[in-house]
Structure 1
Amino acid sequence: MSDNNKHQGHAPTFDYIIVGAGSAGCLLANRLSADPALRVLLIEAGGRDTYHWIHIPVGYLYCIDNPRTDWRFRTEPDPGLNGRSLIYPRGKTLGGCSSINGMLYIRGQARDYDHWAEVTGEPDWRWDNCLPDFMRHEDHYRLDDGGDADPQHRLYHGHGGEWRVERQRLRWQVLEDFAEAAVQAGVPRTRDFNRGNNEGVDFFEVNQRAGWRWNTSKAFLRPAAKRPNLTLWHSSQVLGLALDSAGDTPRCTGVRVARPGQGEILARARREVILSAGAIGSPQLLQLSGIGPAELLQAHGIPVRVNLPGVGENLQDHLQIRSVYKVKGATTLNTMANSLLGKARIGLEYLLTRSGPMSMAPSQLCLFTRSSEDYAHANIEYHVQPLSLDAFGQPLHTFPAITASVCNLNPTSRGTVRIRSADPHQAPAIAPNYLSTEEDRKVAADSLRVTRRIAGQPAFARYQPEEYKPGPQYQTDEELARLAGDIGTTIFHPVGTTRMGRAEDPLAVVDPHLRVRGVTGLRVVDAGIMPTITSGNTNAPTLMIAEKAARWILNGG
């Protein structure tokens, strides 16, 4: 694989240019460069993934909101959050968000993908047709050494692929008992969240290998590094797209890139430019290049090349509402990590065994259930942790506690991503518009009641749980919805801002094969293309999208 110093002083030409070396971009670079006849350029604004905290699982605490690894976006003050603004992490390093995320492997529900097939008219988006794309790159621990005793497992999981999925390397009794309380509250046990119906309670499976984070740079980019037809430009920010107006339809012919020590250069693409800059970065680049809502572009003095009103619209995200319960007689991370001796023990355990709290994903226990009987499917997801704090980045509380964070899986609120100016170095305005619909506010209130119901079951009573946040004094729908705005935070799952759809859909940005409408030679392959958010964490679905897109691209579709 070529690196930074090749092609200086002229405009190099490739078959494919991929913008963004995150989850989708790394997989695409691997798949496209597997054909030695194709020359592929992968461009990443961030640096190499050499920062040690990327690879230690608990290091997400030091990577999020760190300029070395994160774009450090902020949302606009949000009325649904009672005027609060949130940090909005997006990975800025090789591996992208897979280098700073929670490492949780969740695909979503079959109904998510069947809905995509319905709204796009493309049957390849149905769950049954997406499942092979999930399995193609999977390396699931349950199939090690011949597999486990469940013959159904081979029908849903792959082995020998690049993307490692493992069990967590620690357990907490207080979480085991919370899981039993969930069962007592009517949530079934499950052994696998990834068979199309994820309702149930169990511990998350994680993208780790032997106690280390497994990011997409390790999984997909490093194996392709030996290929001479793959060129990587890291620490290089794409400033805009090059569009050729010859003919009736503009063609994307390359990208303008700011390279270290070289200034701005042009890289040309013979076949396609593929945007994999994520649900924030891809619409920003389209708008900067004159592809987007005409009124927005004109307001910033950008010539309109293609009027696509949907670019930057349809932003969806999972808002988590964090309930904190003080507990008695339980070991939690609060008590373990609030002393020098405790921290030393934690560090030694990880050094010797690659286990313990330093191997922790941000959340350990997962459950999917329904906020009320109005729903025929699981519509809320819990991330339960044996710790508590006032806000991300703040110190742990000094008392033993757990946090049960719950999110609405299928929010009806929609937000926007819009450039603030024609300056590519200025962050866009991100306005998620959380809790802006009556349905979302009702789900928020009901989900807090579900949390209370679980915490009140006999299996959890031994800990004498005390609701510290939001507080038992809040009971009505209005009070709980307002409190949700006070304590809700993003779970870092932005999608939908370059959504796919049918030709007659005026807000569809890409067609069902992810080609940008009104432009040839340009495709978007990242979480932005989702018409609706998946019912769970979004990294695994993004890899599936890239796997499917790579096959279409290589087959000329």
Structure 2
Amino acid sequence: MFGTLGITSCTAAAALFSIDTLQRRALSAHTSLRDGDEYDFIVVGSGAGSIVARRLAERRQRVLLLEAGPVNQSPLIHIPLLSLTAFVSFLKKYNWQFRSLPEPSMNDREIYEPRGRVLGGSSSINGMIWVRGHPWDYDHWAKICGDPSLSYSSLLPYFRKTESFETLQAQSKGEGRVKKIPAPAENAAASLRYHGTNGPLHISEPRFRHPISEALIEAACDVTGLFPNPDFGGEEINGFGCFQMNQWRGRRWSAADRYLPKGKRANNAADLHRDDLVAEFLDVRCDATVDRVEFDVLDALGEKEKEKEREGGESIVGRAWRTSVTVKKDGRPRAVGVRLASGPVIRARKEVILSAGVFQSPQLLNLSGVGDRDDLERVGIASLVHLPGVGKNLLDHIDVFVQCENPSGEALGVSLRGLVFQMQHGWKYLKSRLAQWRGEGDGDEDPFMGNLLMSNGVDSGGFMQASPESKWTDVQFHFFPGSFRDYSMRGFLNHMYATHVYLSRPHSHGTVQVVSKNVFHKPELRFNFLTEKQDVDTLLTALKTARKIMHHPLLAKYRGRDLLPTADCQTDAELEEYMRSHAKSAHHPIGTCRMGRESDSQSVVLASLSVTAVEGAGSSKQPERAPWRGGEPWPSTPSVVSPQFEVFGCEHLRVVDGSVFPTHIAGNPWGTIAALAEKAADDIVSTWNI
């Protein structure tokens, strides 16, 4: 579809979008942060962090939000179809581009993991798909953590609080015109129980529905016997249909696009009429890398240690001064700020909240001396709190796919046959952006409805129970009328389409491990995909189902030869080898600072700083626990944070992002992360009575 002139049309639209964005968000020069600057709260990371920061600023708290990446100005982020480029290897400005160590279980391949390095975090580069987990997921979390505030019924108000479902136009199936279709929250009174209508995040039905995706939905329902599902966040998660999206008025709608006030984000006084209260109390800084958390230095040890200090010997206090920490009498160091990589130490009067993501929140804890003692000492970091669960319990949805050629050329790809089609959509998008720029077209009709540039590529899919041993939904499908292949643009040089299968609740788990004291050295990742037999069996069953869907007669007019796996790959052994050679991450990592009970944390203060153990902690030996209890997934690694997001063994330090998930969920994680961030903000407000 991307002919040469079509690409030109897209580029023109992108250029206009960029001009508009720069006009609305032109950054004035900030005064530099100085050593000793103080705020009530410091939030590190702007995905979930944007949500927490806004809610605290609404309570008239002085909040500093720090983002290591740049402002989210690029049209490659905001125009949905173009945002696919955020995943490919050449776009490094907005993508951390993590890669694992060679994975023995995956034929020694490195697993690629894109993460957002931009205002809005990964919500600014993800696939914009808005789904929740199965209600059982959250009820199970409540059981693991011993806290009913994590149950589905308790979290549902937070899901609703984040959402603003809209009445949109959607394509009438099989017709060129469009018709009005109400958003799920307005389909029936029962839907109002599940969805919010006035939250910050705009949620919509997809503006563009690809005909191959429509055929795949129908074929999947026929193969599995499940029904079409118009709302995966409603009464039932199983079934197939189109995913709802974080989109609004022709663009992506990330956490930064509404939780952060435009005026303050742009540092432009003319825009301060919007969200003026939040803008007054919230300071957002981009290109600001945090080196570590700073802990308080308190003269709170016994007389024996004070005497040793007076006699000139190096006491615990002396060693603590060298490492910018001191352990209080109860053994819990108190976070009082952060040190930036550029040098200044910024003070937090109340709390530090880490929302740096699944890989960098544990890295920052490690760099601050909080983590597994042996891992820290191995790289020369002075250990403060022995918390062995930090960086453990890395879980991710593994993704395997079935891919076919599309000789008739309907799928996304580069060819002359799609030239006219692409030119039309590029020109329509350009005109709509021009009208929007002039302040026109703000009525009920959405000018971007039916426009290809509004597609995220994977606009549809579904959920099902693949394994007969599973009690609940265990796999997720994504239908992709195109292909990235190896995460380069080469995947678009031919027309092809695919069905992707994700393992919803993996047993195999990996680690994130700090490699040096330098924050710019990325941590080592080990996913350990397919190291558990149950993962292999479930994914293999789902792969066979995906193959049946792709070979359904409804796809006959689109389908050419089998590309991956090839037609001669038939036996279970051959298909397993195919999975190990081609499966990848679905880019849904979670769990590296997991929630749990403090009795499961095994957190003890390092003996070299204090002999006083953290109250309620056990020995440093990791618990011996079966990863599954009664057919249910159960974490086999120590916990790191409480259900209120507080880091065990520390005071005034929390982690709020996807790293706190105890187990994985059936669904894309961003919707759950947003709901947890809303809960975390309430927990903080309650703690401080603000």
TM-score when normalising by structure 2: 0.76
Q: 1:346·1:357 contact (CA, 8 Å) conserved in 2?
A: yes
Instruction: Find the counterpart in structure 2 of residue 228 from structure 1.
Output: 280
**Of 202, 219, 228, the match for 1:181:** 219
Q: 2:184·2:231 contact (CA, 8 Å) conserved in 1?
A: no
Q: 1:63 to 1:237 in 2, by over 3 A?
A: same
Q: 1:170·1:356 contact (CA, 8 Å) conserved in 2?
A: yes
Cα distance in 1, alignment partners of residues 214 and 551 from structure 2: 15
1:460 aligns with 2:543: no
1:228 is paired with a residue of what secondary structure? helix
- Structure 2: runs of 5 or more not aligned: 1-24, 169-181, 265-275, 297-325, 432-446, 602-637
**Of 269, 274, 278, the match for 2:353:** 274
Cα distance in 1, alignment partners of residues 220 and 285 from structure 2: 48
Cα distance in 1, alignment partners of residues 328 and 214 from structure 2: 64
Instruction: Please show how residues 278-297 of structure 1 align to structure 2 within 5 Å.
Output: 278-297=357-376
Instruction: Find the counterpart in structure 2 of residue 538 from structure 1.
Output: 669
Deviates more, 1:379-388 or 1:110-119: 379-388
**Of 144, 150, 166, the match for 1:141:** 166
1:200 aligns with 2:239: yes
**Of 516, 521, 525, the match for 1:430:** 525
Instruction: Find the counterpart in structure 1 of residue 83 from structure 2.
Output: 60
1:179 is paired with a residue of what secondary structure? helix
Q: How high is the sequence identity, in percent, across the aligned residues? A: 33
**Of 231, 241, 248, the match for 2:293:** 241
**Of 88, 94, 113, the match for 2:138:** 113
**AA partner of residue 222 (structure 1):** P
**Alpha-carbon distance, 1:133 to partner:** 0.3
Instruction: Find the counterpart in structure 2 of residue 28 from structure 1.
Output: 52
Structure 1, residues 501-544: CA drift from partner, whole Å, max 9, x if none?
01221311011111000000100000000000111101111001
Cα distance in 2, alignment partners of residues 74 and 501 from structure 1: 28
Structure 1, residues 353-397: CA drift from partner, whole Å, max 9, x if none?
434322111301111112232323221111111113432223245
Structure 1, residues 202-230: CA drift from partner, whole Å, max 9, x if none?
01110000221111111101268332221
1:43 aligns with 2:95: no
**Of 515, 519, 523, the match for 2:654:** 523
Instruction: Find the counterpart in structure 2 of residue 383 from structure 1.
Output: 478
**Alpha-carbon distance, 1:7 to partner:** 6.2
Q: 2:165·2:185 contact (CA, 8 Å) conserved in 1?
A: no
Q: 2:402·2:550 contact (CA, 8 Å) conserved in 1?
A: no
2:488 is paired with a residue of what secondary structure? coil
1:162 aligns with 2:200: yes
Q: 1:256·1:265 contact (CA, 8 Å) conserved in 2?
A: yes
**AA partner of residue 520 (structure 2):** H
Q: 1:46·1:236 contact (CA, 8 Å) conserved in 2?
A: yes
Instruction: Find the counterpart in structure 1 of residue 590 from structure 2.
Output: 495
Instruction: Find the counterpart in structure 1 of residue 564 from structure 2.
Output: 469
Deviates more, 1:467-476 or 1:321-330: 321-330
1:420 is paired with a residue of what secondary structure? coil
2:64 is paired with a residue of what secondary structure? strand
Cα distance in 2, alignment partners of residues 119 and 535 from structure 1: 17
Cα distance in 2, alignment partners of residues 146 and 81 from structure 1: 40
Q: 1:148 to 1:475 in 2, by over 3 A?
A: same
Cα distance in 2, alignment partners of residues 377 and 240 from structure 1: 41
Q: 2:295·2:333 contact (CA, 8 Å) conserved in 1?
A: yes
Count of aligned pairs between the two proteins: 551
**Of 372, 384, 408, the match for 2:467:** 372
- Give the CA RMSD over aligned residues: 2.2
1:220 is paired with a residue of what secondary structure? coil
**Alpha-carbon distance, 1:196 to partner:** 6.0
Q: 1:442·1:477 contact (CA, 8 Å) conserved in 2?
A: no
Cα distance in 1, alignment partners of residues 251 and 361 from structure 2: 30
Cα distance in 2, alignment partners of residues 281 and 271 from structure 1: 22
Structure 1, residues 257-283: CA drift from partner, whole Å, max 9, x if none?
13xxxx310011111100000111100
Instruction: Find the counterpart in structure 2 of residue 395 from structure 1.
Output: 490
Cα distance in 2, alignment partners of residues 152 and 446 from structure 1: 34
TM-score when normalising by structure 1: 0.94
Instruction: Find the counterpart in structure 1 of residue 400 from structure 2.
Output: 321
Deviates more, 1:124-133 or 1:329-338: 329-338
Q: 1:344 to 1:86 in 2, by over 3 A?
A: farther
1:407 is paired with a residue of what secondary structure? strand
Structure possessing the higher radius of gyration over alpha carbons: 2
Instruction: Find the counterpart in structure 1 of residue 538 from structure 2.
Output: 443
**AA partner of residue 163 (structure 1):** L
Cα distance in 2, alignment partners of residues 399 and 63 from structure 1: 20
Structure 1, residues 91-124: CA drift from partner, whole Å, max 9, x if none?
1111110111100001111011001000001101
Instruction: Find the counterpart in structure 2 of residue 351 from structure 1.
Output: 430
Instruction: Find the counterpart in structure 2 of residue 480 from structure 1.
Output: 575
Q: 1:338·1:398 contact (CA, 8 Å) conserved in 2?
A: no
